[in-house]
C-alpha cells in the first residue's frame, strides 16, 4: 500500500469541493480499494461520501424511477418499486457479483466500476487505459473475455457491469452535481467508448458527483428481464447478456428496449434490434431475425470469436422469454 489521506464529508458541497481538489469519491469501495491494493489506482485523497443523503428510491411522475447513487445493489434489487416496474433491473443486480458485494457496492459505484481486463490490473503489462500510450497487451494477448463491439486499436476491454446494461436498455439518465451546478446526461452518452483515449471512461467533469440514476416512464404494461451467460453460475462476469423490455398491446410490439452486456466496450444498446421488433407481432421467426441484428458489425478478436454466435443466441432466447412465442 502507499500513503493517502481520508476525509469524510457531510454535504454534497463539501464533497464537490474536495473532488475539485483531486479527491476520489469513496462509497462501497468494492472496486477502488481493490485497485489501490494492487497499486493500479494511487489516489492522494479519498473522500468518503457515504453520509450524503443519496440513498433513496423514488417513483417519478408517470411511473419512472429515481435511484439514489448511494443505494446499494442489494437494496435496489429488493425494492418493491424496482421489482414491480422494472424486473430487468432487479434481475441484473441479483446476477451480479456476490451477496456480500451487493450489500456494500452502490449504484453510483457500479456505474463507475473499472474494467476486469487482467492486463489493466497487472501493473507490469502494457495498458493504454491505465498508462496512456503504453499499448494494449490484450490485442495480441489472451482476449477471450474482451469486447466484440465498440473496440478501438487502443483498447478492447468489455464493460463489466450487468445493471448498466439494463439502464442502457431502458434509456436511463445519470444525474450529476458539480462545481457548475446540476446536469443530467443520457446513460448512452455517459459511459464513453475507448476511441483514442481509453483512460477517459465517463462524461464526468472535475469534481462532479453522481447523485442518481433516473429510469424514465415507459408505456405499460412493460415486460422485462435479464439473461446472463457466464462460465459458472455465480460470482462471474458475463460472457454475453441481454436486457429486454417489451410493451406489447393488441398482439403487436409497440415499444422494444434491448441492450447487451459482456460484448461491448460500453453497455451495448441495440437500436437495430429495437427497430426490427417495433410494430411486429411476436413470433419465433421475429426473435431470430431481430437477434441477427445484434451481431452486425461485430469485430471479434483471436480468442472470443465464439461470442458472435453466443450473443445472437442470448438475445434470441431472452426475446422469447420476455415476449413469448405467440
Ligand atoms: Fe488495457 Fe484496454 Fe488493452 Fe485491457 S484492453 S490492456 S484495459 S487498453
Which neighbouring-strand residues pair with 149? 264
pTM of this structure? 0.97
Question: In this predicted model, what pLDDT tens digit does every residue of 45-79 receive, in sequence order?
Answer: 999 999 999 999 999 988 999 999 999 999 999 99
Question: In this predicted model, what pLDDT tens digit does every residue of 257-304 receive, in sequence order?
Answer: 999 999 999 999 999 999 999 999 999 999 999 999 999 999 999 999
Q: Whose CA is nearest to atom 7 of ligand 1?
A: 120
CA distance 315 to 163: 16
Environment class of residue 99 by beta-carbon count within 10 Å: exposed (0-12), middle (13-18) or buried (19+)?
Answer: exposed
**pLDDT given for residue 326 in this prediction:** 47
How remote is the CA of residue 128 from the centroid of ligand 1, in Å? Answer: 6
Cα distances from 102 to residues 18, 96, 99, 111, 172, in angstroms, run 27, 8, 5, 14, 21
How remote is the CA of residue 240 from the centroid of ligand 1, in Å? Answer: 19
Low-confidence ranges of the chain (pLDDT < 70): 326
Q: Are 91 and 238 in contact (CB under 8 A)?
A: no
Domain architecture of the chain: domains with CATH: 1-52 (3.30.43.10), 223-323 (3.30.390.50)
Task: Output the CA angle 221-226-227, nearest 5 degrees.
Answer: 140
**Ligand 1 atom at shortest distance from the alpha carbon of 194:** 2
**pLDDT given for residue 1 in this prediction:** 74
CA distance 208 to 227: 33
Q: At what angle do helices 284-292 and 306-323 cross, to 10 degrees?
A: 140
Pocket probe for ligand 1: among 40, 116, 142, 155, the residue whose CB has the most ligand atoms within 8 Å is: 155
Whether 304 is in the pocket of ligand 1, judged by its Cβ within 6 Å, is no
**pLDDT given for residue 201 in this prediction:** 97
Whether 312 is in the pocket of ligand 1, judged by its Cβ within 6 Å, is no
**pLDDT given for residue 62 in this prediction:** 86
**pLDDT given for residue 219 in this prediction:** 95
**pLDDT given for residue 149 in this prediction:** 98
Q: Whose CA is nearest to atom 2 of ligand 1?
A: 155
Q: Among positive and negative, which fits the CA dihedral 61, 111, 34, 235? A: positive
Whether 147 is in the pocket of ligand 1, judged by its Cβ within 6 Å, is no
Amino acid at each position: 500500500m502507499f500513503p493517502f489521506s481520508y476525509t469524510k464529508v457531510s454535504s454534497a458541497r463539501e464533497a464537490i469541493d474536495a473532488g475539485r481538489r483531486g479527491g476520489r469519491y469513496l462509497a462501497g469501495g468494492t472496486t477502488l480499494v481493490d485497485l489501490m491494493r494492487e497499486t493500479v489506482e494511487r489516489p492522494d485523497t479519498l473522500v468518503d461520501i457515504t453520509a450524503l443523503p443519496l440513498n433513496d428510491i423514488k417513483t417519478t411522475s408517470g411511473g419512472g424511477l429515481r435511484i439514489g447513487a448511494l443505494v446499494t445493489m442489494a437494496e435496489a434489487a429488493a425494492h418493491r418499486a424496482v421489482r414491480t416496474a422494472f424486473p430487468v433491473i432487479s434481475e441484473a443486480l441479483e446476477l451480479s457479483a456476490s451477496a456480500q458485494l451487493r450489500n456494500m457496492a452502490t449504484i453510483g459505484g457500479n456505474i463507475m466500476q473499472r474494467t476486469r481486463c487482467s492486463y489493466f490490473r497487472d501493473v507490469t503489462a502494457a495498458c493504454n487505459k491505465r498508462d496512456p500510450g503504453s499499448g494494449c497487451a490484450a490485442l495480441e494477448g489472451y482476449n477471450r473475455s474482451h469486447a466484440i463491439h465498440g473496440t478501438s486499436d487502443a483498447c478492447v476491454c468489455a464493460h463489466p457491469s450487468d445493471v448498466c446494461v439494463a439502464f442502457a436498455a431502458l434509456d436511463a439518465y445519470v444525474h450529476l452535481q458539480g462545481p457548475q451546478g446540476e446536469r443530467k446526461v443520457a446513460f448512452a452518452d455517459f459511459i464513453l467508448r475507448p476511441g483514442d483515449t481509453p483512460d477517459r471512461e465517463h462524461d464526468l467533469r472535475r469534481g462532479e458527483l453522481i447523485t442518481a440514476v433516473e429510469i424514465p416512464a415507459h408505456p405499460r404494461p412493460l415486460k422485462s428481464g435479464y439473461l446472463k451467460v457466464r462460465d459458472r453460475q455465480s460470482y462471474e462476469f458475463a460472457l454475453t447478456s441481454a436486457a429486454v423490455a417489451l410493451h406489447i398491446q393488441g398482439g403487436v410490439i409497440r415499444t422494444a428496449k434491448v441492450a447487451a452486456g459482456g460484448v461491448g466496450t460500453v453497455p451495448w444498446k441495440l437500436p437495430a434490434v429495437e427497430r426490427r421488433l417495433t410494430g411486429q407481432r411476436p413470433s419465433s421467426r421475429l426473435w431470430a431475425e431481430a437477434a441477427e441484428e445484434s451481431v452486425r458489425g461485430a469485430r471479434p478478436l483471436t480468442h472470443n470469436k465464439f461470442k458472435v454466435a453466443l450473443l445472437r443466441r442470448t438475445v434470441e432466447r431472452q426475446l422469447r422469454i420476455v415476449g413469448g412465442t405467440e
